[in-house]
Amino acid sequence: MFTVDNYIGSVKTNLEKQSDLLVSNLKRIFAYNFSTDIELLDFSAFIEPTRFELSIRMFSMDKEANEVFYGGNDTTVFAGSEEILPEIEYHQLNDGQLDDFFEFYEQNEETLFPQEQKVFTDWFSQCWKKAGGASLNLPSYFVFHDDYKSYDLNNNEWIDDEEKWS
């Protein structure tokens, strides 16, 4: 039998197992020599719910919501995107449980979906802080791919995407 608390607890436990990897990758990225054309960083979470997989990619952006690329000759300058976290499993189930789980999820989606997003966001934010994200001189956001809101990692609050582009 599935419960909301057990599922969310499982997600937290599985994410925690990946914290050291995420912190290490973030520390590496924070040391980059970012192009002066970059105006903000978007850390985008890509979730594959049918396989319980999460990956995170960093995009360097300008204020017009365009990805910034560097065309110069200085190989120390970074612009573009980079994988921060390869696909990880955030929940495990036996194949025989999938139909029952997805029925449970559908019945509880209004409760589960916001709790999942909070767990993912809180975990990323904690890792970002542990890695020293506050030392970055760029506004930084955690976003769910194709969502309309972003989590401002510097101010610890959700904002409408339009706010970060203004």
Tens-place pLDDT, residues 62-112: 999 999 999 888 989 999 999 999 999 999 998 889 999 999 999 999 999
What confidence category does residue 1 fall into, taking pLDDT thresholds of 50, 70 and 90? confident
- The sign of the CA dihedral 132, 133, 134, 136 is positive
> pTM of the predicted model, to two decimals?
0.94
Tens-place pLDDT, residues 72-81: 889 899 999 9
Query: Could you tell me which of 26, 57, 28, 34 has the C-alpha nearest to residue 137?
Result: 34
- The residue extents of the domains of the chain are 4-165
- Between CA 77 and CA 148 the distance in angstroms is 30
- E strands, the chain, where? 33-34, 40-48, 53-61, 77-78, 81-89, 140-144, 149-152, 157-160
- Between CA 166 and CA 164 the distance in angstroms is 6
